[in-house]
Amino acid sequence: MTERTQAPYARIAAELRGRIERGELRPGDRVPSTRAITQRWGVAMATASKALATLGQEGLVRAVPGVGTLVAARPATSQGRRPATAAEDDSAQRGRIVRAAMAIADAEGLTALTMRRLAAELGVSAMSLYRHVSTKEQLVALMADAAFGEHALPERPPPHWRERLELSAALQWRLYRAHPWLAGAMSLSRPLLIPNGIRHIDWALAALAGLGLDDDTRMHAAVTLFGYVRGHAVDLEPESDAARTSGVSGQEWMRAQETRLAALVDGGAFPAFAEARADSALTPESLLQYGLTALLDGLALRITTPPN
């Protein structure tokens, strides 16, 4: 039967079927409602209902009370694999949403990430996202957890407590560098309860076990270390935003300030600053390492039991 001689409901079903097969409508996305179909195709409500019923009989869509008609999870079609369960499909869709959200935040900052923008990036309606993430806050928590999961702490840690804490700090800094928005998304006063973030605290607590430190001291030390690295990384997103909007890197900006800085210090108003400035070279990494060394040196003075 040609498209011209097809019944109206069949033509509508064929168009929606094509969109599903091409991936324009993905599992979990809402398909047009019967009302939307009547308005778009100029057909009666009964015709719209029959088009959706046809897709339902083919297993391509499913009706969800209170939500609408959604694209169904696609069954596996090769090598006898079983169809994905609803939970597996939801997890896969959530992972796709989180990855797309991270890509936007990495490229443009967290303020550029909105549910509408994310939906446009994925080619779906904004409402369809709320089937998988209830709020933007939940989405950001999922993004942070995924980021911290990118570089796993090794199953066999270094032998010395200090090496373990240095490794954890280095991995955290690497993650903040890769995702400049991440530090701003974290908080010590209202922490995100994300498994991969808590794993770093647990790692630090384990590293400090058996060293004569009470539990309260170990917890304070572990959280302080986490907060110290995060605090240094908070400037990464503003710097990334400034470089992106101005086209001037941080190093280029600092070089451009040399004349103004020299005018401030060369007149003798700040003699100690002028003397030290001549022999120092500050970078985000050098500041991080200096403070980390001082923090761990101070912690070492509290240890009363030598490590094995």
pLDDT above 60: residue 131: yes
State both tokens at 11.
Answer: 């033509």
Scanning 149-247, the segments in alpha helix (DSSP H) are 161-178, 182-185, 195-207, 215-233, 236-246
Distance CA 162, CA 25 (A): 51
Specify the DSSP class assigned to residue 44: -
Percent of the chain at pLDDT above 70?
Answer: 87
Mean pLDDT score of the chain, rounded to an integer? 83
CA neighbours closer than 13 Å in the CB half-sphere of residue 89:
17
User: Is the pLDDT higher at 256 or at 70?
Assistant: 70
**H or E, element range at 294:** helix 284-300
The whole-number average pLDDT for the span 58-73 is: 79
pLDDT above 70: residue 211: yes
Q: What is the pLDDT, as a whole number, of residue 240?
A: 73
User: Is the pLDDT higher at 170 or at 263?
Assistant: 170
Distance CA 159, CA 59 (A): 56
Q: What is the pLDDT, as a whole number, of residue 81?
A: 47
State both tokens at 38.
Answer: 């009547």
**Rounded alpha-carbon distances, angstroms, from residue 137 to 14, 70, 97, 116, 161:** 38, 24, 14, 15, 35
Task: State the Cα angle at 183 between 180 and 184, rounded to 5°.
Answer: 95
In three-state form (DSSP H/G/I as H, E/B as E, the rest C), the secondary structure along 106-164 is HHHCHHHCCHHHHHHHHCCCHHHHCCCCCCHHHHHHHHHHHHHCCCCCCCCCCCCHHHH
**What's the pTM?**
0.66
pLDDT above 50: residue 2: no
Distance CA 130, CA 93 (A): 11
Q: What is the pLDDT, as a whole number, of residue 171?
A: 94
Task: State the Cα angle at 128 between 193 and 109, rounded to 5°.
Answer: 55
**Rounded alpha-carbon distances, angstroms, from residue 17 to 11, 31, 33, 69, 85:** 10, 10, 15, 13, 21
Q: pLDDT for 247-258, tens place per residue?
A: 777 677 777 767
User: Is the pLDDT higher at 227 or at 70?
Assistant: 227
The whole-number average pLDDT for the span 126-145 is: 89
3 state DSSP class of 64: strand
User: Is the pLDDT higher at 29 or at 288?
Assistant: 288
User: Is the pLDDT higher at 252 or at 52?
Assistant: 52
The whole-number average pLDDT for the span 117-141 is: 87
Nearest to 165 by CA among 14, 303, 16: 303
Given a contact cutoff of 8 angstroms between Cβ atoms, the answer to whether 28 and 89 are in contact is yes
Q: pLDDT for 221-248, tens place per residue?
A: 999 999 999 998 888 877 776 767 777 7
Centroid of chain to Cα 37: 36
User: Is the pLDDT higher at 29 or at 307?
Assistant: 29
